[in-house]
Amino acid sequence: MSNPLSHSARTSGATGRGLLIAVGIILLIVLAFGGCGVSHYNGLISSQKNVEARWAEIDNQYKRRYDLIPNLVETVKGSANFEKSTLEAVVQARASVGRIQLPESLPTDPKALETYIQAQQGLSGALGRLFAVAENYPDLKSSQNFLSLQDQLEGTENRIATARRDYIDAAQQYNTRIARFPANFIASLFRFKEAAQFQAPAEERATPKVEFDFGKK
């Protein structure tokens, strides 16, 4: 004759083991999803930091150019009868750049970024016209200070073009990543915002090389 207590114990033990197995399975699922979430979160952070670093490089090069211009203006002022309108255009373009402020970390407002880039391109154009006009002034051709500034600004323009292209690539990769499943859930949960994007001019899509022709013939 079977012992009712023994049968009850076996049933209870089986139920306990089943419960433990169910709990274990749930824990494994939670850990798997948690690990996947952590992996996607870390990937988003890395991608975001990469975009921020690319933006910082653009900002640094623009600031370097901004700081070089006052010395250039003073040098050109010393040239007799230099075209006043050309010089004033550079001064005004620099002032326009100085009035626009963007975050140092990551720009997220496309319109603000577009305005900023347009102002910077305006300054590039004004500088190009100044160096073109300077070809007509022999005293500037013989000025070592002017030639040195020209070389520095050329190098800065080329670094700006490279940095802009690198930012565009990094921002595209980051924005694509936060839009894809399942990273989009993580991005929404932790409020990752898209990086503002702009279109690079055709000449910057290839390897950039900016030259102000003055003094190089």
What's the pLDDT tens digit per position in 121-147? Answer: 999 999 999 999 999 999 998 899 999
Lowest-confidence range among 11-15, 68-72, 76-80, 198-202? 11-15
At 5 the pLDDT is: 46
Number of domains into which the chain is organized: 2
Q: Which helix (H) or strand (E) holds 137?
A: none
Torsion of CA 48, 34, 39, 37, to 10 degrees: -40
- The domain of 84 spans 47-205
Residues 18 and 103 in one domain: no
139 CB-side CA count, 13 A: 8
How many CA atoms lie within 13 Å of 124's alpha carbon, on the beta-carbon side?
A: 19
Of 176 and 207, the structure prediction assigns the larger pLDDT to 176
210 within domain boundaries: no
Answer yes or no: is pLDDT of 39 > 80: no
Least confident segment among 7-21, 35-49, 140-154 = 7-21
What is the model's pLDDT at position 78? 86
Which tokens belong to 72?
């250039």
Helices (H) then strands (E): counts for the chain: 7, 0
Distance CA 121, CA 62 (A): 11
Do 119 and 191 sit in the same domain of this protein?
Answer: yes
Residue given tokens 């824990």 in the structure block: 27
First to last CA, the chain: 114
Residues 113 and 20 in one domain: no
